Amino acid sequence: MGIKSLRLRRSNIFYPTNGDMRNLHGLLSDIVLTDEYLEDILEIEDSFYSNSKQAVWPNDLESLLKRAKKETKISTKSIEKIFFHILRNGSTPRTVTKADYPALISAYERLFPELKEETVLHKAYFDTYQALFLFGKIGAFQLSEKNPPEYDDYIEFTKAWSQFNKYLHMGGMAAKIDRFLPFASSEIVVARIADVLRVTNHQHMRTKDPSHYNYTQLYYWGMLITLLLSKERRFKTIDEFFSFSKSIPLFETHVDRLGFFIDAINDLELKKYFQIKKKAKSNLINRIFDSFTKK
């Protein structure tokens, strides 16, 4: 049964809800925020987290932080708590100041132990690739690059991730290849992507049933497009991709999608190299098949 009535503990002010979900936006529109109200709101969020209940909407938490900075004497600990509840939704703050960045990293460190496969989804969730790209570690995965990243690098990574993850379909992504060029010329972004793909063996989805694997995961292809646009990384990226042929589920389908994006990039040298690698892979499969049929 959902919550019928929720009130701030110290002031007894009504907190509007819909089932288990708290309407923080509605609450904030009715009050002038004080230190006491802020403490009550965060206390409630901590309680819901302890009971494996979903956090309030990330946008509302960001509004809470913005209001708290203007209307209260918010502490670093409270800023960290707000970031924590944003992160456990699988989201990141849209803006983070340099002064608040250590609190964001502390919030992720607090969340990190919860980010394992058996965690209750509503308690804590964060996409593996996004976590690796932005923070450098999740679960058993950890990047070799410096982690956590410096503030300026983190901001660059968030801009890049926004580009990778903004499309609704592959056709739209292929039509906007030029949007990836600024990130392909960024050494830190290119190195970060390469590290993420390497430590995960290009497996962007964890599933025990390969038939459930989502080969259309667009941020993965956005990252791969960025590497293919890098003159320094493009051929090595093709080599690494084919080296993971035994670990990438639905590999032949991935090869077809890779060819689709290489055609969209329209780099003749890259096309030629891809066809050579594809043919070599096909010939290897044929030789293995022939050796079995002749036994």
Mind listing the pLDDT tens digit for each residue in 169-208?
A: 999 999 999 999 999 999 999 999 999 999 999 988 766 6
Please indicate, yes or no, whether residues 280 and 151 belong to a single structural domain of this protein.
yes
Q: Which of 126, 158, 185 is the last residue of a domain?
A: 126
Compute CA distances 96 → 58, 107, 193, whole Å.
13, 13, 22
Please indicate, yes or no, whether residues 155 and 73 belong to a single structural domain of this protein.
no
Structure tokens at 138: 């999740």
pLDDT tens column, 68-125: 999 999 999 999 999 999 999 899 999 999 999 999 999 999 999 888 755 555 577 8
Across 234-252, average pLDDT = 92
* Residues in contact with 249: Cβ distance below 8 Å, sequence separation at least 6, in sequence order: 203, 207, 210, 213, 215
| Single-letter residue type at 110 | R
Whether residue 4 lies inside any domain: the answer is: yes
Q: What are phi and psi of 9, to 5 degrees?
A: -65, -45
Q: What is the pLDDT of residue 122?
A: 59
Helix ranges (DSSP H) in 91-246: 101-111, 128-135, 151-164, 170-175, 181-184, 187-199, 218-228, 234-243
Please indicate, yes or no, whether residues 151 and 281 belong to a single structural domain of this protein.
yes
Whether residue 132 lies inside any domain: the answer is: no
pLDDT tens column, 12-41: 899 998 888 899 999 999 999 999 999 999
Distance CA 41, CA 270 (A): 54
Total domains present in the chain:
2
Distance CA 61, CA 38 (A): 11
Q: What is the pLDDT of residue 93?
A: 96
Closest CA to 76 of 62, 65, 88: 65
Please indicate, yes or no, whether residues 166 and 276 belong to a single structural domain of this protein.
yes
Please indicate, yes or no, whether residues 189 and 285 belong to a single structural domain of this protein.
yes
Q: What is the pLDDT of residue 1?
A: 39
Q: Across all residues in the chain, what is the average pLDDT?
A: 89
Q: Which of 66, 96, 126 is the last residue of a domain?
A: 126
Please indicate, yes or no, whether residues 147 and 240 belong to a single structural domain of this protein.
yes
Whether residue 184 lies inside any domain: the answer is: yes
Rounded to 10 degrees, what is the CA torsion of 137, 141, 145, 150? 0
Whether residue 135 lies inside any domain: the answer is: no
Range of the domain at 48: 1-126
Structure tokens at 110: 């607090």
Rounded to 10 degrees, what is the CA torsion of 261, 262, 265, 268? -170
